[in-house]
Amino acid sequence: MSTADIGGGYHLYGVGEDNYICKIKDPKYCEIIICGEIVSIEKNPDFFLFYRIAYPETRGYGNDWDLWDKQKGENMRQYWIIDRRNDKVYGPLIYSKYLDLRNELNIPPNLKLDTTVTE
C-alpha cells in the first residue's frame, strides 16, 4: 500500500483503484473521508478538490445513496471539497452542486480538477 501526505493532516492511501483520503486525528487514529478510485486531486492553501469514480461495490461508504439510486448503480462520478480554512468537508457532490459550491466558497478559477478520466 502506498501513502502520501497531501497536507493539512490529510493523507492519500491506496493501491490502484482502491484508495482513500483520511484525516489523521492522532498518531493512532485516521478518519476516512473519501473511499474509492480518486482520479484527480488539486489543492491550494485554502482548499482540497477531489474527483472520484465510485463503483457499485463501494456503495455505502462515503456515498450519497440517493444519488447512487438516481444513477441506477452505474459508476458514479463524485466531487468533494475540503475547506482547509475551517476543516469542513463537502461531498459527495454531483457536478452541478460542485460548481455551485465552488462559486459560493470563492474557489479560484485556476484551481481545477482533471475530469477527463471517466472509467
24-38, 69-83, 91-105: least confidently modelled range? 69-83
Residue spans of the domains in the chain: they are 2-105
User: Partners of 41 in the beta sheet?
Assistant: 50
Of 113, 74, 108, 110, the residue nearest 95 (C-alpha): 113
Q: For residue range 43-76, what is the model confidence (pLDDT) as tens digits? A: 999 999 999 877 655 554 444 555 555 555 556 7
pLDDT tops 90 at residue 80: yes
User: Partners of 83 in the beta sheet?
Assistant: 47, 88
pTM across the whole model: 0.81
